[in-house]
Amino acid sequence: MSVDAFTMPLSTEDLTLGWLQAVFSDPSISGFEVTDARLFETTSKLYVTLSYKDEKEASAAGKPQKVLLKGGFSPVMFATPGYKPILIRAYTREVDMFSKFVPTLPDDAVLQLPKVYWAGANDDNAILAMEDLAAGGFTFGDPTRTYSLDAVHSGVEQLATLHAKTWGWSTKEGEHESPKAAELAWLEPNIYDVTMGGLLGMWDELILGADRPPLPAILKDSRERTSRALSTYFASRNPRFRCLVHGDPHSGNTYLKGDDVRFLDWQIAHVGTAFHDLAYFLVSMLTVEERRTHELAVLDRYLEALARHGGPTLSREDPEVMTEYRKAILTGLGWVLTPHSMQAKARVAAMVERYAAAIVDHKTIELLTEIADAADKKTAEKTATDVKGNVAVQVNKVDGETA
């Protein structure tokens, strides 16, 4: 797998045999057929069947036949004002994930990821050439469904091994010895924070719109309170729990064989708090009642797996653990603010029901409001102390001059 910046196809019509031969480093590819094109999703997907000059030889060598090209192949999407730079940034993050992070994993890594044959990006597009998971017998997670506890446990295991391997990572110079901040520059900016800030600007449409899902008053009745809670969450993430996170590991970004869960769509990967991933995944997978019944046991299972895979030993008895988890429930606000143009209405409604209930159950808005109030009080007290000190200095100065 290599990264190149040669000319990228920007539509189905731009795809050529020569490009595919270059991407797969295989001149024996003799033809291709685009069997399906999904162009009106956030990320376009082209399902391609490859043919070879010698099919028998290609089969014996295990060469791919059915592949997926994932990136920007929709001229309409790219032409939407303001969309292209946002989309390219997200596509490039996933390319970087597979070209900079995944090659560092050992062959026997517990973290299971799709096979990517090639990943490349330039200013025009960013594309993954990867295995066709459906052809490989996998099914894809559906936000309108809920899943078994075994599936939740499987996903928690995957997240724990990712977090353990990258525990303590920081994109700020001097905060982590290896890898250095410069080696993690590809994880900046924090796409999740930037995206959420932009979606909050669509409050009237996404929160108050007539066709939007019902919301509890604690979320809906005050834009200022909800916005303040989100900014407080961003500002108060505990560095004790910092690691590389998937960033968007809801059930719809999973692929499964039975109850074996793995994660797709690493476009919002960033350095953040481990509980961002855990809360976001767990709440999306279970019914509201199942989550209420099993949530703490799943949290314990995650903490055990984190330690087993080489991360720190943590416990729910540590108040900072539960505080961080409760704060991270606010990641569900991402679905509350998801436009129907990006996700089907039924998907949004199903997810909002689960996340809104969790935000209420954990009093997440109230907790973040308390944290914000305490921070404001501390700032005011410091300001008052500084002012008082400056006044004393000025008085002393005047007294000295008078004397």
Q: DSSP assignment, residue 219?
A: H
pLDDT at 379: 86
pLDDT at 314: 98
The angle at the Cα of 401, spanning 396 to 403, to the nearest 5 degrees, equals: 95
pLDDT at 142: 96
Pull the structure tokens for residue 268. 């919002």
Question: Which of 35, 28, 71 is closest to 53 using CA atoms?
Answer: 28
How far apart are the C-alpha atoms of 196 and 337, rounded to whole Å?
A: 8
Pull the structure tokens for residue 167. 């525990």
Residues 6+ apart with CB under 8 A from 78: 10, 72, 84, 87
Percent of the chain surpassing pLDDT 90 = 83
pLDDT at 278: 98
Give the pLDDT confidence of 257-269 residue by residue, as tens digits: 999 999 999 999 9
Is the pLDDT at 102 greater than 80? The verdict is yes
How far apart are the C-alpha atoms of 148 and 141, rounded to whole Å?
A: 12
Tell me where in the chain the CATH 3.30.200.20 domain(s) lie: 12-131
Question: Which of 237, 306, 227 is closest to 273 using CA atoms?
Answer: 237
381's enclosing H/E stretch is helix 364-402
Please tell me whether residue 344 adopts helix, strand or coil conformation: coil
Total Cβ atoms within 10 A of residue 296: 12
Lowest mean pLDDT of 113-117, 173-177, 200-204, 390-394, name the range: 390-394
pLDDT at 384: 74
What mean pLDDT do residues 368-387 have?
Answer: 87
How far apart are the C-alpha atoms of 367 and 319, rounded to whole Å?
A: 13
Lowest mean pLDDT of 24-33, 34-43, 112-121, 368-377, name the range: 34-43
What mean pLDDT do residues 151-165 have?
Answer: 98
Strands 254-257 and 270-273, bridge-based pairing: unpaired
Please tell me whether residue 36 adopts helix, strand or coil conformation: strand
In CATH, which superfamily holds the domain spanning 12-131?
Phosphorylase Kinase; domain 1 (3.30.200.20)
Lowest mean pLDDT of 106-115, 141-150, 316-325, name the range: 106-115
**Residue 398: which pLDDT band, with cuts at 50, 70 and 90?**
low
pLDDT at 5: 46
Task: Record the pTM.
Answer: 0.91
Give the pLDDT confidence of 165-182 residue by residue, as tens digits: 999 999 999 999 899 999
257's enclosing H/E stretch is strand 254-257
Lowest mean pLDDT of 32-41, 196-205, 241-250, 388-397, name the range: 388-397
How far apart are the C-alpha atoms of 127 and 69, rounded to whole Å?
A: 7
Give the pLDDT confidence of 111-139 residue by residue, as tens digits: 999 999 999 999 999 999 999 999 999 99
pLDDT at 233: 98
**Residue 393: which pLDDT band, with cuts at 50, 70 and 90?**
low
Taking a C-beta distance cutoff of 8 angstroms, is the pair 333, 363 a contact?
A: no
Is the pLDDT at 325 greater than 80? The verdict is yes
Is the pLDDT at 294 greater than 90? The verdict is yes
pLDDT at 82: 76
The amino acid sitting at 158 is Q
Residue 85 or 120, more confident: 120
Question: Burial code of 82-96, b = ≥16 C-beta within 10 A, e = fewer?
Answer: eebeebbebbbbbbb
Question: Which of 10, 403, 402, 352 is closest to 214 using CA atoms?
Answer: 352
Taking a C-beta distance cutoff of 8 angstroms, is the pair 314, 243 a contact?
A: no
- Would you identify the CATH topology of the domain 139-374? Aminoglycoside 3'-phosphotransferase; Chain: A, domain 2 (3.90.1200)
Which of 1-5, 83-87, 361-365 has the largest mean confidence?
361-365
Question: Which of 333, 325, 200 is closest to 273 using CA atoms?
Answer: 325
Distances (CA, A) of 174 to 59, 75, 311: 50, 42, 21
Average pLDDT of every residue of the chain: 93
Lowest mean pLDDT of 26-40, 353-367, 378-392, name the range: 378-392
How far apart are the C-alpha atoms of 286 and 152, rounded to whole Å?
A: 8
Side-chain-facing half-sphere of 241: CA atoms under 13 Å: 25
Question: Which of 82, 87, 85, 97 is closest to 40 using CA atoms?
Answer: 87
Tell me where in the chain the CATH 3.90.1200.10 domain(s) lie: 139-374
pLDDT at 54: 97
Distances (CA, A) of 141 to 67, 249, 375: 20, 11, 40
The amino acid sitting at 125 is N
